[in-house]
Amino acid sequence: MSFFSDEEIDSLKITRMILHVVGTKDFAAMPERALEEEAFFIGKIVDMATAPVFMFKAVSVTRNEVEAIASADTSFVAGAQALAASFNRAHVGGSADGVLLMFELSVADPDVKIYSLIKYDYKLALEQNDGAPGKKLRRIVNALVDEKKAIQKTALIRVISGVADQNISATDRTKQGVDLADYFADFLAVSRAVSDTELSEITRKVLKAALQTCIEHLPGQDIAKALQRAQANLGTRRRIDEEAIVEAVMMAAGHPEDEKIANRLERETRSRVRKSKLHELSFKPDRRILRQPYMRKIVTAEGVTILFPDRKENPNVQVIQLDGDKKQIIVDTDRVKEDSVVTPKPGQPA
């Protein structure tokens, strides 16, 4: 995952946890819970750990509260209760009731603490409270199901030596892609640190790197045409995610039937998606970015170098295949802006 390092995942442990029912008018502060089902919750935390594409604003009560807990200026219980009460006040009427879980996690580095918030949908059950006057019914949490879709909102905050990292990981099932509901973004006091435009730029680089690495498997070994096809494919989609990027690369490579080639293309693409921290992200494509042509460079055996925008529509440079390895390059231009002399480098053809 892109929020946790491999070393952090290997050493990740829950040290404290607390649970509050949210979405109710009568909020009840709850005590800290003994650690339960640690493997279950760690699995959910790691599974939802996306790249930190949000950053705290200059003023964030949530960040301040988490830092106070990490520094022991506030107890874990008091801080978590305050955060849960704040979340409950912000919780809008159209949002599903559920529970807000807060975890404090440790890793191998003793200076690092990680705080996880998870808003979990739950199934409502009523229980008779024999100790209450009139044996009134009370609401209880019946089930936290082992399904990703049951997790409605998440946030991960890394605190190093008492100072919260500016960038945080956050997800929201009620919104498409990497956006957050207004009340959740306000509760965290965060804004997008990486725009859809920037994510589209990163995606272009991933496509280029993956296809360039496997150039021998591309039709005609034509990297320029493969990139055009891959970008055009992603530009028609409503959302871009890891699977969409893999599919675009496969399409650009002509959907190779050889299983070894197909596996290599997929492996190279997924590796670069993860290195670029696009894993688990879903975002709206910036079609203007995906329509931008790459600069194509052609160097001939005679020492001629041509660098030009490789446009799919209205190209002004034509590369015509002749017999054998011969090619003809035709450039149409409205005017020549520079016609100068450059001193040749040592080793260049005379």
Give tens-digit pLDDT for 256-272. Answer: 999 999 999 999 999 99
The answer to whether residue 39 sits within a structural domain is yes
Q: What pLDDT does residue 125 have?
A: 55
Q: How confident is the model at residue 27 (pLDDT cuts 50, 70, 90)?
A: confident
Mean pLDDT in residue range 146-163: 87
Same domain membership, residue 30 and residue 176? yes
Give the whole-number percent of the chain exceeding pLDDT 70.
Answer: 88
Same domain membership, residue 150 and residue 68? yes
Same domain membership, residue 113 and residue 43? yes
Which residues, including other chains, have CB under 8 Å from residue 25's CB and lie 6 or more apart? none
Q: How confident is the model at residue 120 (pLDDT cuts 50, 70, 90)?
A: confident
The answer to whether residue 149 sits within a structural domain is yes
- The secondary structure of 38-64 as a DSSP string is HHHHHHHHHHT-----EEE-S--HHHH
Q: What is the pLDDT of residues 66-100, one digit of tens each?
A: 999 999 999 999 999 999 999 998 887 666 678 89
Q: Which residue has the higher pLDDT, 165 or 311?
A: 165
Helix ranges (H only) for 94-195 are 182-188
Mean pLDDT in residue range 8-19: 94
Of 192, 213, 248, the one marking the end of a domain is: 192
Q: How far, in Å, are 68, 335, 336, 342 from residue 339 at the CA level?
A: 65, 11, 7, 10
Question: Where are the extended beta strands (E) located within 193-323?
Answer: 295-299, 305-309, 317-321
Q: What pLDDT does residue 139 have?
A: 55
Mean model confidence pLDDT for the chain: 86
Measured over the CA atoms of residue 227, residue 53, residue 10 and residue 36, the dihedral's sign is negative
Q: How confident is the model at residue 119 (pLDDT cuts 50, 70, 90)?
A: very high
Of 137, 166, 192, the one marking the end of a domain is: 192
Same domain membership, residue 313 and residue 238? no
Cβ atoms of 42 and 28 within 8 Å: the answer is: no
Same domain membership, residue 184 and residue 257? no
Q: What pLDDT does residue 301 have?
A: 87
State how far the Cα of 63 lies from the Cα of 69, in Å rounded to an integer. Answer: 10
Q: Which residue has the higher pLDDT, 136 or 274?
A: 274
Q: Which residue has the higher pLDDT, 206 or 126?
A: 206
Same domain membership, residue 307 and residue 272? no
Same domain membership, residue 143 and residue 38? yes
> Which structural domain range is residue 206 located in?
196-290
The answer to whether residue 347 sits within a structural domain is no
Q: What pLDDT does residue 128 have?
A: 61
Same domain membership, residue 143 and residue 105? yes
Same domain membership, residue 116 and residue 28? yes
State how far the Cα of 116 lies from the Cα of 66, in Å rounded to an integer. Answer: 10
State how far the Cα of 261 lies from the Cα of 263, in Å rounded to an integer. Answer: 5
The answer to whether residue 70 sits within a structural domain is yes
The pairing of strands 167-172 and 151-160 is antiparallel
Asked if the model's pLDDT at residue 253 lies above 60, the reply is yes
The answer to whether residue 47 sits within a structural domain is yes
Of 192, 226, 250, the one marking the end of a domain is: 192
Same domain membership, residue 155 and residue 110? yes
The answer to whether residue 1 sits within a structural domain is no
Same domain membership, residue 298 and residue 275? no
The answer to whether residue 220 sits within a structural domain is yes
The pairing of strands 163-164 and 54-56 is unpaired
Give the whole-number percent of the chain exceeding pLDDT 90.
Answer: 49
Q: What is the pLDDT of residues 45-55, one digit of tens each?
A: 998 888 888 99
Q: How confident is the model at residue 132 (pLDDT cuts 50, 70, 90)?
A: low
Q: How confident is the model at residue 146 (pLDDT cuts 50, 70, 90)?
A: low
Q: How confident is the model at residue 1 (pLDDT cuts 50, 70, 90)?
A: very low
The answer to whether residue 140 sits within a structural domain is yes
- The secondary structure of 125-136 as a DSSP string is EEEE-TTSGGG-
Backbone φ and ψ for 112, nearest 5 degrees, come out as: -110, 130
Tokens 């650690």 label which residue?
35
Asked if the model's pLDDT at residue 295 lies above 90, the reply is no
Same domain membership, residue 279 and residue 308? no
Domain tally, the chain: 3
Among candidate residues 280, 282, 200, the one with its CA nearest the CA of residue 235: 200
Nearest-5° Cα angle at 291, 213 to 205: 30
